[in-house]
Amino acid sequence: MGVETIPYDAAEFLTDDETIAAYLIESLESDDIRIITEALGAVARARGKIEFARNTGITPETRIRLGDALSALSCKINLTNEDFEVFNQVRDKTPAEPLNSI
């Protein structure tokens, strides 16, 4: 039996300009193109999340609280995995439109 791991995304921790700058400097000092490329991708993902939070007021902490509330609600009304499969089959799978900057 192997070790169970969870995905790690540095973008989750890049929440302000100072942290992003320090992360990029560290990656550039590595002189490793793979590390630099991954760092640039993480910054791009983080920037998207930062802009989303600014435009909507929904922060990572808010998403966690919302997820906890939805989880508690699903337990309270006894939703099963089969129910979620049905939801997944009938949900609208049209890609969301990007938010426009105000």
- Predicted TM-score (pTM) of this structure: 0.49
Q: Is 36 domain-assigned?
A: yes
Let me know if 39 is exposed, middle or buried by CB neighbors in 10 A (0-12, 13-18, 19+). Answer: buried
The first and second tokens of residue 52, run together, are 């989303």
Give the confidence band of 64 by pLDDT, cuts at 50, 70, 90: low
Q: Which residue has the higher pLDDT, 60 or 82?
A: 82
The first and second tokens of residue 102, run together, are 């105000």
Mark whether 65 and 43 lie in a shared domain. no
* Residue carrying the six token digits 């793979």: 34
* Torsion, Cα of 101, 23, 27, 55 (10° steps): -10
What total number of domains does the chain contain?
Answer: 2
Q: Is 46 domain-assigned?
A: yes
Dihedral sign, Cα of residue 102, residue 95, residue 65, residue 77: positive
Mark whether 69 and 53 lie in a shared domain. no
Mark whether 21 and 42 lie in a shared domain. yes
